[in-house]
Amino acid sequence: LPAAVLLKDTKLMDVKLGQLGSWLAMRDFTPGGILGAMRRGYERYYNKYINVKKGGLGGISMVLAGYIVLSYMWSYSHI
């Protein structure tokens, strides 16, 4: 039998729909918690796409595509 995993330690993709409210209530929404989550997300992205032995254009092109979409949305406020 697998060991029981606490709901707090469960990843978002593994949370059932009925548990979503209680899972969100356990998150840290303080400025420090939000900055920590952003830092962890950046580190995961950097280690997966940028800091690799044999890299490609995948990581850089995703950042560039995101920038293009955001700048397009900011330029055309009627969208």
Q: Is 64 within a domain?
A: yes
Q: Is 2 within a domain?
A: no
Q: Are 14 and 29 in contact (CB under 8 A)?
A: no
Domain total for the chain?
1
Look at residue 35 in the predicted model and tell me its pLDDT. 95
Query: pLDDT digit of tens for each residue in the chain (79 aa)?
Result: 355 667 777 888 888 888 888 888 888 889 999 999 899 989 998 888 778 777 677 778 888 999 999 999 888 876 5
Q: Is 1 within a domain?
A: no
Its domain, for residue 33, covers 7-75
Alpha helices in the chain (DSSP H): 20-25, 31-45, 58-75
Look at residue 3 in the predicted model and tell me its pLDDT. 52
Look at residue 54 in the predicted model and tell me its pLDDT. 73
Enter the pTM of the model: 0.56
Look at residue 5 in the predicted model and tell me its pLDDT. 65
Look at residue 1 in the predicted model and tell me its pLDDT. 37
CB contact set of 8 (below 8 Å; sequence gap of 6+): 23, 26
What phi, psi does 66 have (nearest 5°)?
Answer: -65, -40
Compute the C-alpha angle 16/18/22, nearest 5°: 95
CA 62, CA 50: separation in Å to the nearest integer?
11
Q: Is 12 within a domain?
A: yes
